[in-house]
Chain A
Amino acid sequence: MDPRRLLRKAVLRIILGLLGAVFLWPPAASAQEEVTSSIRRYKDREVSTGYYEEHEVKPRRTRPFVQQKEVVRRYSAPVTQYRPRAAVEPSVRSRMEDSHEGIQFYELRRCEECHVEEAKHSHTVKANLTCRQCHGGEPIAGINYYYSPMNPIRRNAYVCAKCHEGASVSFATFLVHEPKAGDPATRKTFASLYYSNWFMYLLIVGTLAFFGLHTLIWVGKETYHAVSEKMKTKPEAEPPPAEKPEPKEPENE
């Protein structure tokens, strides 16, 4: 056969093959990430044996914490970022197995009565989750308690992956209870959010103030012109009024 025709045929097949590959490509099976080890990683998921492989404790892809340099390291253990308030007011309870130990009337009250701010996030408000779907049953461990499922070294697998299949360590650094972006404390705990907030705030206020004023003056000016134009043309349309006597207003009395 003509070698050029052969070549063309081969190229065509390669292209078609590649196109086919696009469709046959295995979907990103993100869950695979969790079972690459020969020991099955999270044996029965919810039941903690207290035993973790090294790579679970030291994630390679991303450190499990929001990394920001200005964090004050006041305590011997590194003060980490994943708990929004941590850098501002570190709490002992955060490292306790039962974070509510000794808190009176705890059993009688609902989570959101005491944790008002924590109840305002999209997982609860929009996705309609209960606190316990993430924080688990009693006792609710502090976030920093070593064996807590919420501990960032295993949060992705023990909490997030229950619903977000294949949640990675990086994914779990998403702050479920976002700090208030406008709060001055956020400048320390989550600086990028704080400054993004200011940036967008200034952008919105600036744009609207500038163009709002621009529009307002413009509309005012055009209205003024139209009205004064009308007042000027009015006497011509009507018969010119006869000599009006000056209004008799005594000037100084």
Chain B
Amino acid sequence: MSDQVRIIRFKVADRVFHVFIMVTFLIQSVTGMGRLLYHTNWGKAVVGIFGGYEGASTVHNTVGILMIIGFVIHIIYILAKVEWKSWRKSLLDADSLVPRPADAVQFGQQIRWFFGLGPRPSFDRWTYWEKFDYWAVFWGMPLLGISGVLLMYPLAASRIMPGWVLNVMVLFHRAEALLAMLYIFIIHFTIGHLRRGMFPMNEGMFAGSVELEKEKEEKALWIARLQEEGRLEQAKVLGPAPWYRTAYFIFGYTALAVGLYLLLIIIVYRNYIEWH
């Protein structure tokens, strides 16, 4: 690992955000699933870890508030990152996560490649599926956050709207949470981590850096752009320290295991899940 040339991909702040959302998301998934399936033995057992239904609710609510705070901090952080003087360029260049026309083109190329109708497309720094991952979470957060806060304070919420809206909010909260879990545990895990070439683990988000040789295959445009702008040398960094690598392997695989376990539970208990 250390003999490979590595270039930086995620700054410390980005990685902290990712670890933060991993941990909070998994806690919410476990406590939320425990509450959702409280009428089953599995639900009662899981909720028991947190000291019963009320304990699980308290954890769920507290971590929910933490997530909202984290999300607000994230928004402030990205707003501060945009160079407002040249905002058009700053938002739309290839280093930004804002979708661009090129994403649609690359998506078309990818589909053609799937069916053997064209060569494999090369991507820039962010591929269209990575952007989708980001924006899906970005829009899921407010939906879950707002419906969650309203349900947390039903009395206060019914002052600003009719009480029956809470019935609808319960539905939104559960359905969106299920969607988020299924998406992360099936699609994000497979594309990001378990796919060939990524297996056993896509270390980019933890180490912060990626192997130059590997990226030349998939993200050739990015590497070419770095070279052209003369930033490639500057982007080269040292690999992660062995202890750190061990730590994030353990952490990452724990998270993966929790996620896959929950996925299994969703499948096994699918008939007991009532999203409304």
Contacts and interface: CB of A to CB of B under 8 A. Distances in A.
Interface of A: 28, 30, 62, 66-67, 120, 125-126, 164-168, 170-175, 178, 180-182, 190, 192-193, 196-197, 200-201, 203-204, 207-208, 211-212, 214-215, 217-219, 221-223, 226
B179 A212 contact: no
30 contacts: A62-B162, A66-B162, A67-B162, A125-B39, A164-B155, A168-B159, A168-B163, A171-B155, A173-B158, A174-B158, A174-B164, A174-B167, A178-B167, A178-B276, A181-B276, A190-B164, A193-B171, A196-B172, A200-B171, A200-B175, A200-B275, A207-B179, A208-B183, A211-B129, A211-B183, A214-B129, A215-B187, A219-B196, A221-B114, A223-B196
Contacts of B275: 181, 200
A171 B154 contact: yes
A120 B38 CA distance: 12
Nearest to B47: A126
Contacts of B53: 126
Contacts of B178: 204
B227 interface: no
Contacts of A181: 171, 275-276
A196 B165 CA distance: 11
Contact of A215 (B39, B158, B166, B190): B190
Interface string B175-217: 1101100110011001100011100000000000000000000
B35 interface: yes
Given A178-B167, A180-B276, A193-B171, A166 B155 contact: yes
3 closest cross-chain pairs (CB), A and B: A200-B175, A174-B163, A171-B158
Contacts of B114: 217-218, 221
A216 B167 CA distance: 36
Contacts of A28: 156
Contacts of B38: 125-126
Given A125-B39, A174-B164, A215-B190, A167 B155 contact: yes
B216 to A, nearest CB: 17
Contacts of A180: 276
A193 B159 contact: no
What bracket does the count of chain B residues touching chain A fall in? 35 or more
Given A66-B164, A211-B183, A212-B186, A222 B154 contact: no
Contacts of B190: 215, 219
A203 B140 CA distance: 12
Interface of B: 35, 38-39, 53, 113-114, 129, 132, 136, 154-156, 158-159, 161-168, 170-172, 175-176, 178-179, 182-183, 186-187, 190-191, 195-197, 274-276
A133 to B, nearest CB: 17
A192 B167 CA distance: 10
A219 B193 CA distance: 12
A207 B196 CA distance: 23
Main secondary structure of the interface of B (DSSP, over half): helix
A30 B159 CA distance: 10
Contact of B166 (A62, A174, A222, A226): A174
Given A28-B156, A200-B175, A219 B276 contact: no
A250 B166 CA distance: 75
A124 to B, nearest CB: 10
Given A204-B178, A217-B114, 8 more contacts: A164-B154, A164-B155, A174-B167, A192-B165, A193-B167, A204-B175, A215-B187, A219-B195
Contacts of B179: 200, 203-204, 207-208
B196 A211 contact: no
A233 B165 CA distance: 63
Contacts of B129: 211, 214
A67 B165 CA distance: 11
B119 to A, nearest CB: 12
Contacts of A211: 129, 132, 183, 187
Given A171-B155, A212-B187, A190 B167 contact: yes
Contacts of A178: 167, 170, 276
A172 B166 CA distance: 11
Nearest to A192: B168
A172 B39 CA distance: 25
Contacts of B183: 207-208, 211
Given A207-B183, A211-B183, A170 B162 contact: yes
Contact of B196 (A197, A203, A226): A226
A218 B171 contact: no
A141 to B, nearest CB: 21
A10 B183 CA distance: 55
Contact of B163 (A172, A204, A212, A223): A172
